[in-house]
Amino acid sequence: MKSDVVAQLHVDPRLPDTLAQQIREQFIWLISDETLRPGDEVPPVRALAAQLGVNYHTVRAAYRRLEADGLIESRRGHRSRVTRFDPWRLWPSESAARTHVVGVVLPSLSNPFYAELVDGAQEAARRSGTLLIVCSTHDDQALALRSIAQLAAKGVDGIVVVSHDISSLLWDPADGAADALRRLPLVVVDRPGTKGHSIEADLEGAGHLAAGHLIEHGHRLLGLISRAAPLSNVLPLETGFRRAITEAGLDLDEHHVARVDGWDAAAGAHGAARLLARQGRPTGLVAIADLLAIGALGELRRAGVHVPTGMAVVGVDGIPMAALSHPALTTVALPARAMGAESLATLVTVWAGTAGTAGTAGAAGSAEAPRRVVLGVDLIIRESCGLHASTPRISHSAPEKERLR
């Protein structure tokens, strides 16, 4: 057991929680924070009791609760050790009182798309009397899982997870996760294919709209700036892009697909530079995010390529700064604000479905059937691909699709 960890443990008999409960909650936080990791030893009962100045049985009671939580394991003749942390084990039963706090875990606060999404969630949270705690992960999958664990340890009413894959943590059938899925107040946003409650945009429709619009402008050589990793919120965009090309009787040159490692303007500029270096470069370009497209516009400008006559550019997202780029960016707008609001609305249905006595599903029935919502997208036409004088804006909204699974 690390001595510095022992030094972090304190109890106060003046607090309303029992001393055993105080010890348990501090261990839960240290485990969820990864200060204590699987396999780490916890101090012997008598040693910790002496350290804290409490009765031996107080520490024993705390350890028994932690064992019941599945957080530590004890074997006769061996030190107790930390086990793998599963956040779903700590969520309260259906009959527990609400805390009116929801966590939001998302890749970035600097990306305007996520800022819009949080604004939508915040507005809906106010209407339901809920406080949001927002955790930015800097696009780090491990940090996302850690943030979920920390929020679970603090007993939030639910968690909205944006653009992260959490299936490895929460849906392992070998660990009885099917039961966890029924009672976890968790919604995943912008991650198609999730097994639980999910809110998505029509990403395939977005890719199809972007490529189709360039084809309507007469472009026959199309390029794409996309991510190097095969992410589930990127693949549908590529599928729609390729489908539009196939439907037009065209072929996609795979040398015209530039794969980058980031989502920012610098990555977009890098992708555009790679396309410009290739022979037979495309005349129409789709970037799977507006920031990538804005970076591409800057690189094209530095290379002396006029937009849209030298190369037309379309982005995806619909962030406000797309209208301020030079030239103003044509984009397929994803309903970020609506996605955020819908994530809170889904949590409300979960709470309504578990508002009765423990073990009794409410009218919503969401605990039995995860809710999936797919929201439509809009094509906003601006100068980066040649503005139609007669049609300054074309809107395309796929019908909202909701399926209980």
pLDDT in tens, the chain (405 residues): 555 677 888 999 999 989 999 999 899 888 888 888 888 889 888 889 998 999 999 999 999 999 988 889 987 777 889 987 777 666 655 556 778 999 999 999 889 999 999 999 999 999 989 999 999 999 888 899 889 888 988 888 899 999 998 776 555 545 544 444 445 688 999 999 888 889 999 999 999 999 999 999 999 999 999 999 888 999 999 999 999 999 999 999 999 999 999 999 999 999 999 999 988 899 999 999 999 999 999 999 999 999 999 999 999 999 999 999 999 999 999 999 999 999 999 998 888 775 433 333 333 333 457 888 999 999 999 999 876 544 445 555 555 555 545
According to the CATH classification, is domain 3-85 in 1.10.3720.10?
no
Decide: helix, strand or coil at residue 1.
Answer: coil
Give the DSSP letter of residue 398.
Answer: P
Are both 3-85 and 203-334+378-404 of the same fold? no
CATH of 203-334+378-404 among 3.40.50.2300, 1.10.10.10, 3.40.50.150, 3.40.1480.10: 3.40.50.2300
| Contact present, 72 and 38 (Cβ < 8 Å) | no
For 184-226, where are the alpha helices, taking DSSP H only?
A: 203-216
Closest CA to 165 of 197, 191, 201: 191
Which helix (H) or strand (E) is 404 found in, with range?
strand 401-404
CA geometry: angle at 28 spanning 6 and 135, to 5°? 115
CB atoms within 10 A of CB 174: 5
> What is the reported pLDDT for 366?
39
DSSP annotation string for 239-308 = HHHHHHHHHTT----GGGEEEES-SSHHHHHHHHHHHHTSTT--SEEEESSHHHHHHHHHHHHHTT--TT
Amino acid type, 321: M
- Name every residue whose Cβ is closer than 8 Å to that of residue 83 and which is 6 or more positions away in sequence: 38, 70, 71, 72, 73
> What is the reported pLDDT for 95?
54
DSSP annotation string for 6-58 = HHT----TTSSS-HHHHHHHHHHHHHHTTSS-TTPBPPPHHHHHHHHT--HHH
Q: What is the pTM of this model?
A: 0.83
Q: Is the dihedral of CA 245, 246, 249, 250 positive or negative?
A: positive
CB atoms within 10 A of CB 46: 11
Place of tokens 């930015």: 136
Closest CA to 44 of 23, 22, 25, 59: 59
What strand order describes the sheet that includes 158-162?
A: 131-136, 101-106, 158-162, 186-189, 197-201, 371-375, 401-404
β-sheet bridge partners, residue 401:
374
- Name every residue whose Cβ is closer than 8 Å to that of residue 201 and which is 6 or more positions away in sequence: 190, 334, 335, 339, 374, 375, 376, 377
> What is the reported pLDDT for 91?
65
b/e for 230-267, b at 16 or more Cβ within 10 A? ebbbbbbbbebbbbbbeebeeebeeebbbebebbbbeb
> What is the reported pLDDT for 34?
85
What six digits make up the tokens of 119? Answer: 């604004």
The beta-strand segments (E) located in 107-248 are 131-136, 158-162, 186-189, 197-201, 222-227
pLDDT per residue as tens digits for the range 83-107? 877 776 666 555 567 789 999 999 9
How do beta strands 330-333 and 186-189 pair?
unpaired
Q: For the chain, what are the domain ranges?
A: 3-85, 90-189+337-375, 203-334+378-404
The CATH code for residues 90-189+337-375 is: 3.40.50.2300
| Contact present, 301 and 325 (Cβ < 8 Å) | no
Exposed/middle/buried for residue 304 (C-beta within 10 Å: 0-12, 13-18, 19+)? exposed
Q: Is the dihedral of CA 299, 305, 307, 311 positive or negative?
A: negative
